[in-house]
Structure 1
Amino acid sequence: MRSFRHWVVQYAGLIAVLLLLIAVFSMMSDHFFQKSTLITIANQIPDLTFLAVGMTLVLIIGGIDLSVGSLLALSSAVLGVLMADQGWPIAFALPIALLVAGSCGLINGMISIGFGIPSFIVTLGMLEIARGATKVVTDSQSVYIGSRIEWFGQPLGGLLLSPAFIASLVAVIIGQLVLTRTIFGRYCVAIGTNAEAVRMSGIRAAPYSIAVFGISGLLCGLAGLAQTSRLSTADPNGAIGIELAAIAACVIGGTSLMGGRGSVISSFMGVLIIQVLQTGLAQIGVSDANKQMITGVVIIVAVLLDALRNRWSQK
Structure 2
Amino acid sequence: MGEAGIGVALLALVAVFALAAPHFATRANLTHIATEITLNTMLAVGMTFVILVGGIDLSVGAVMALSAVVSGEVLTSGGLSPSVAVLLAVLVAAAVGMVCGLVNGFVSEHWKVPSFIVTLGMLNMARGAALQYTDAKTLYDFPPGFGRFGTATLLGVPALFWIALSMVAVGHVVLTRTVFGRLVFAIGGNEEAVRLSGHRTGVVKVAVFVIAGFAVGIAAVTYMARLSIASPIIGGGYELSAIAAVVIGGASLSGGKGSMVGTLLGACLLGVLTNGLLLMGVSDFQRQIITGAVIVVAVVVDHYRGRLARRLTPLG
Same-fold status (TM-score > 0.5): yes
* 1:225-236 equivalence runs, <5 A: 225-236=221-232
149, 152, 175: which one aligns with 1:155: 152
Is 1:219 the equivalent of 2:224? no
- Distance, in Å, in 2 between the alignment partners of 1:283 and 1:23 is 14
264, 268, 273: which one aligns with 2:260: 264
> Residue deviations 1:200-219, cap 9 Å, x none?
11111111111110010011
- Distance, in Å, in 2 between the alignment partners of 1:241 and 1:113 is 25
- Distance, in Å, in 2 between the alignment partners of 1:120 and 1:222 is 23
The alpha-carbon deviation at position 86 of structure 1 amounts to 4.2
290, 293, 308: which one aligns with 2:289: 293
Is 1:12 the equivalent of 2:36? no
Is 1:94 the equivalent of 2:71? no
The alpha-carbon deviation at position 308 of structure 1 amounts to 2.1
The alpha-carbon deviation at position 19 of structure 1 amounts to 1.0
Q: Which amino acid aligns with 2:263?
A: S
The alpha-carbon deviation at position 45 of structure 1 amounts to 1.7
Q: Normalising by the residue count of structure 2, what TM-score does the alignment of the two structures yield?
A: 0.94
Secondary structure at 2:23's aligned position in 1? Answer: coil
The alpha-carbon deviation at position 149 of structure 1 amounts to 2.1
Is 1:77 the equivalent of 2:73? no
Q: Which residue of 1 aligns with 2:42?
A: 50
- Distance, in Å, in 2 between the alignment partners of 1:179 and 1:93 is 28
* 1:140-289 equivalence runs, <5 A: 140-146=136-142, 147-156=144-153, 159-289=155-285
Q: Which amino acid aligns with 2:11?
A: L
Unaligned runs of 5+ in 1: 1-8
Secondary structure at 2:151's aligned position in 1? Answer: coil
- Distance, in Å, in 2 between the alignment partners of 1:66 and 1:194 is 23
- Distance, in Å, in 2 between the alignment partners of 1:216 and 1:151 is 27
Q: Which amino acid aligns with 1:35?
A: R
Secondary structure at 1:80's aligned position in 2? Answer: helix
Q: Which amino acid aligns with 1:11?
A: E
- Distance, in Å, in 1 between the alignment partners of 2:289 and 2:152 is 32
- Distance, in Å, in 2 between the alignment partners of 1:240 and 1:137 is 18
**Contact 2:21–2:279 under 8 Å retained in 1:** yes
Unaligned runs of 5+ in 2: none
Query: How much is the aligned-residue C-alpha RMSD, in angstroms?
Result: 1.3
**Contact 2:22–2:279 under 8 Å retained in 1:** no
The alpha-carbon deviation at position 160 of structure 1 amounts to 2.2
Aligned length: 306
Q: Which residue of 2 aligns with 1:114?
A: 110
> Residue deviations 1:8-28, cap 9 Å, x none?
x22221111111111111121
Secondary structure at 1:151's aligned position in 2? Answer: helix
- Distance, in Å, in 2 between the alignment partners of 1:235 and 1:125 is 20
Q: Which residue of 2 aligns with 1:4?
A: none
Q: Which residue of 1 aligns with 2:27?
A: 35
- Distance, in Å, in 2 between the alignment partners of 1:273 and 1:101 is 27
The alpha-carbon deviation at position 102 of structure 1 amounts to 0.6
> Residue deviations 1:245-273, cap 9 Å, x none?
00000110010000111101101110000
Q: Which amino acid aligns with 2:295?
A: I
Is 1:21 the equivalent of 2:13? yes
**Contact 1:43–1:153 under 8 Å retained in 2:** no
The alpha-carbon deviation at position 312 of structure 1 amounts to 2.9
